[in-house]
Structure formats: C-alpha cells, structure tokens
A = this chain, B = another copy of it.
Amino acid sequence: MARSRDATVQAAVDVASVEGLEGLSLGRLADGLGMSKAGLVGRFGNRESLQRATLAAAIARFRRAVWEPAVDSEPGRERLERIIDLWIGHLRDDVFPGGCFVTTASVEFDARPGPLRDDAAAAVEEWLATLTSEAERARDAGDLPAARDPRDVAFELHSLASGGSVAGRLTGDSRALARTRAAMRRAAGLD
C-alpha cells in the first residue's frame, strides 16, 4: 500500500488544511495511507519534518496555481490583474479542502516561535516582495498613483485575500470572493 513520498505529503496537506499543522498526527495520517506510524517516521525522521514538508508542499501548490501562470503576463499592471484573478480562482477552486493553507499556518504559528513559524514567515515575505515588485513596476509605468507605496499595495492585497477567504468560508457568504476580488482590484488601482 505504501505510496510515494510525494503522495504522502499531498495527503498530509489535505489533512492539515482542515485540522491545521498542529492537528496533523502521525497515527491518523498513517491510517489514512494504510501504512504504519513507524513507516511514516522512517520517511520523514520526525513529526516536525513532516510538518515542514507539508507546509512546503502547500506553498508550492500556491506558487504553481497563482504565480507560475502569471509570468506569461507583462510585468506591472497587467500581471497584477492576472495574479488577482488566479488568486481568487485558487481560493474558489478549494485547492485546499480547509481554506488557504498558508493563512492557516500563519495564524497557527504567528505567536509560536520555531522552524514552522520561520518557514511560514519566509513564504509570506517572499510573496509580499513579489507583489511589491509588481506594484512598483505598475507605479513606474503610471498605472498607480505616484504617492502609493508599492509595499502598501502588496500588504493590502495579501490582507484582503487572506482575511476575505477566511471570513467567506466561516460565514458561508457566497459573494465573499467577489467582494474580495473587487476590493483587491481597487487596492491595485485597477478600477
């Protein structure tokens, strides 16, 4: 029954997306995969390594869904617009059964020092840097008011996507993602 390491991590992503990385237990994951706890530990060393691999896989999923298709677009305004649509699509598709994984991890570890917190922080920092760079290009091209700080735009886009996705899931508001998209477009100076 033992499947590949990659399949194992993907299964862990699905569990942790709902239960959180702290709710990811070796016993339950092993049962779900039809293998033993010891076999799981043999692959990853210990639980924390599994958690880190799981977080890394979720980050890769996000990058593949939101960033990679956007590199075809012209940097700046056009690419920002594309990123927003891909991002909303990523959230709408329920790529993670329990909502945006990095948001879950961010909340879980924002007050708890350790490697998992560091990994999550690094991923968010990198994504914010990417968004900032795109906003900078947009501003330099005159597509954004010169007074707008690109870092502000990046931070705002991130806050809206992350906060909007959670609130929408929690309240069951079917229009939440449409509201979020509109707010993100306004923040990026697209409307």
Contacts and interface: CB of A to CB of B under 8 A. Distances in A.
Given A98-B112, A183-B187, 4 more contacts: A20-B108, A107-B107, A121-B172, A156-B164
A167 B162 contact: yes
Contacts of A161: 163
| Residue from A117, A155, A180, A182 having most chain B Cβ neighbours under 10 A | A155
Interface of A: 17-20, 22-23, 97-99, 103-104, 106-112, 117, 120-121, 124-125, 128, 151-152, 155-156, 158-164, 166-167, 169-173, 176, 179-180, 182-183, 187
Tell me the number of copies of this protein.
2
Contacts of A99: 107, 110-111
Contact of A167 (B124, B166, B167, B171): B124
A110 B187 CA distance: 26
A183 B167 contact: no
13 contacts: A18-B111, A20-B20, A20-B22, A20-B108, A104-B107, A109-B170, A124-B170, A151-B179, A152-B183, A155-B179, A156-B183, A160-B163, A161-B163
A167 B158 contact: yes
Contacts of A112: 18-19, 98
A112 B20 CA distance: 11
A160 B160 contact: yes
B106 A170 contact: yes
Given A17-B111, A23-B22, A158 B163 contact: yes
A-B pairs, 5 with minimum CB distance: A163-B163, A159-B163, A98-B111, A162-B163, A110-B169
